[in-house]
Amino acid sequence: MTTWGIVATVKADALTILRFAAYHLELGAHRIYIYLDAPCPEAKKALQNHPQTRVVRTDDGYWDRHNNGNRPAMHQPRQTFNATRAYKRAKDLDWLMHMDVDEFLVSDGRIASHLAALPPEIQCARVRPMELLAGSDPQSGAAFKAFIPAGKQREKTVAALYPTFGQHLKGGFLSHIAGKIFVRTGIKGLKFRIHNAFLDGETNPNHIEMPQIDLAHFHANDWESWYAHFAYRHREGSYRANLGPARSRDRGGINMHELFALLFEEEGEVGLRAFFDEVCADTPALRARLAHLGMLRHASFPFDIALAKHFPAFASI
């Protein structure tokens, strides 16, 4: 039987962490590795008591033991360090994926069956994202914008979907379009990264796409939560200054960091809200445009049912 698992470095409240774990356990994950980037005693205790989860608090002692006391300042290298450690530990798994706590796998059929069907030479299997329309209800049925494959039509499609801000969006998404990868375990010398894996100087060796599985990314649940996370993401997260623009500089491209800085400088919160309403919000107009172009997706996430089964003490919270 093919087994798979996930690893995540998280900084969130207990309920968010446990919903993430319970959902993927119910989906068929054999093992879940959670590295706590900040203290969360309630989640730590609950995860320690579940036979299929492993939890590590990455406190000063952790970094002293495993990285000579060097805790990377940015969260991205902390994620990759922890993912690589989990990969080395994953002796009872055939495949491991690195994910974030706001990402959820959605599969047409059993994930284990899709992975089992891959030829033995395949070492990396990529799952592309779909991005939540903010305001959708995940448990009753959420709407998503689909991944737009690279090619001549991508830029035209994005411009039709987002007439004001589309030129600044990579693939029409506010966050990443790379998705995440399952990596076959037991490959000596492999280094895990956030969206990729490296082996002997090669990126994603023997790589394949997996269209049967989507990565549902809850990047913006609603305006309030998106705006609350905006400053951090603009400073060192998804909208940080060193990321590239959607179109080349010689075509007038600017990256998301620069766009948001301009909007905020010229219009303040009102400018950011205008962007959010066109690009993120679950509106009839955006649903219609997505549906017309075949880019609208739907999925439901029974978080409460999964939580009640795997972490019943938190089901009524």
pLDDT one-digit tens code per residue, 165-198: 989 999 999 989 999 999 999 999 998 899 999 9
Residue 232 lies in a domain: no
- pLDDT at residue 246, rounded to an integer: 83
What's the CATH number where 72 sits?
3.90.550
Which of 24-28, 74-78, 208-212 comes out lowest in average pLDDT? 74-78
Q: Would the pLDDT of 260 be above 70?
A: yes
Residue 310 lies in a domain: yes
- pLDDT at residue 316, rounded to an integer: 65
Distances (CA, A) of 283 to 32, 158, 207, 277, 280: 35, 17, 37, 8, 9
How long is the chain? Answer: 317
How far is residue 169's CA from residue 157's CA, in Å, rounded to a whole number?
11
Instruction: Taking residues 285-296, report their average pLDDT.
Output: 96
**Global confidence as pTM:** 0.94
Q: Which two tokens stand for residue 143?
A: 């709407």
Q: Which residue range is the domain that position 19 belongs to?
A: 4-222+297-314
Residue 140 lies in a domain: yes
Q: Which two tokens stand for residue 199?
A: 């082996």
Residue 240 lies in a domain: no
- pLDDT at residue 121, rounded to an integer: 96
Instruction: Taking residues 32-39, report their average pLDDT.
Output: 97
Domain count, the chain: 1
Residue 281 lies in a domain: no
- Residue (of 56, 256, 250, 283) closest to 171 by Cα position: 256
Residue 261 lies in a domain: no
Residue 264 lies in a domain: no
